[in-house]
Amino acid sequence: MHFDPSPTSNHSYYKRLERVLGQAEAGSTRLLDVHGDIAPDQIERLARACLTKQEDVRLVVESWIRAGCDLEEVYLQGLCKASRLMGDWWNSDTVDFASMTIACYRLHQLMFDLSPTFLANASIKANGLSALLAATTGSHHTMGVLMLSEFFRREGWSVTREVPETHKDLLRLVETEWFDLVGLSVNYDQTVDEVRGMIGQIRQACPNQRLQVMIGGLIPGDRQTFTREVGADLLGTDARESQLMALELVTGKAAHVPKRQQRAS
């Protein structure tokens, strides 16, 4: 991956960027492909907009919503796939680190802007359950936790979203506030020992003896084995399914997951 904090000094960088931005006319294709998924060139359209300006990002997503795209699919397919496509461009040095970071910020901003609509019925659904959803210390991968929080809130959970600077910050929260569930977004470079230690401390600090701990995100290696070894109660997948699984775990009631929603993250 290319790390150039000052792309202005790099003429060829702009040439490459121009090539990416110049591809395919905006909105020239159908929104959905034959499988009913958001079409790849629409994903590219969003990714390119993220590299230009916030207004363009908004316009792309608005066009999808106007064309009848479900907001959850906008998040789970549109935003996730666009961020991964940008990651591919970053990997191939088509975009640099600074542009990538700003582009990710624009996706964050989009979620904040869409939040009032996304959470429109959340208060009616209030379920009395509370979740602490946290990125792990030192992780810059925060988009997953933000999206996860939105899906939990949408279904009536009270959510505390945290990007802690130290483990102590997380433990202080767990000690002082009541949570039914702690969801930890694992970072790619964390070891079993680290995560197991953290989960053990969380359980010790938490006054709720029935606290459930869920993990998800960029789990290294075999996800099932990792989950077992760190002592988590549940392994999540995408944000929508994870919420359903968490609800079932905490309430002990089976949640129905329609087939269309069983999408791997």
Kindly list the residues in this chain that would bind ligand B12 in the complex (CB under 6 A): 1, 76, 80, 83-84, 87, 100-101, 104, 138-145, 147-148, 183-185, 187-188, 214-218, 220, 236, 238-239, 242, 265
Smallest distance from ligand B12 to CB 219, Å: 8
Those residues with Cβ within 8 angstroms of residue 28's Cβ, 6 or more apart along the chain or in another chain:
41
Smallest distance from ligand B12 to CB 15, Å: 22
Smallest distance from ligand B12 to CB 227, Å: 10
Given the complex with ligand B12, which of 30 and 91 has the nearer CB atom?
A: 91
Given the complex with ligand B12, which of 7 and 87 has the nearer CB atom?
A: 87
Pairing, β 181-186 against β 212-217? parallel
d(CA 190, CA 139): 10
Give the pair of three-digit tokens for residue 236: 């999540």
Given the complex with ligand B12, which of 29 and 237 has the nearer CB atom?
A: 237
How far is C-alpha 13 from the chain's CA centre? Answer: 28
Given the complex with ligand B12, which of 27 and 115 has the nearer CB atom?
A: 115
Smallest distance from ligand B12 to CB 139, Å: 4
Smallest distance from ligand B12 to CB 111, Å: 9
Given the complex with ligand B12, which of 122 and 216 has the nearer CB atom?
A: 216
Smallest distance from ligand B12 to CB 69, Å: 16
Given the complex with ligand B12, which of 143 and 159 has the nearer CB atom?
A: 143
Smallest distance from ligand B12 to CB 147, Å: 4
Give the pair of three-digit tokens for residue 15: 């040439």
Given the complex with ligand B12, which of 94 and 242 has the nearer CB atom?
A: 242
* Three state DSSP letters for the chain: CCCCCCHHHCHHHHHHHHHHHHCCCCCCCCCECCCCCECHHHHHHHHHHHCCCHHHHHHHHHHHHHCCCCHHHHHHHHHHHHHHHHHHHHHCCCCCHHHHHHHHHHHHHHHHHHHHHHCCCCCCCCCCCEEEEEECCCCCCCHHHHHHHHHHHHCCCEEEEECCCCHHHHHHHHHHCCCCEEEEEECCCCCHHHHHHHHHHHHHHCCCCCCEEEEEECCCCCHHHHHHHHCCCEECCCHHHHHHHHHHHHHCCCCCCCHHHCCCC
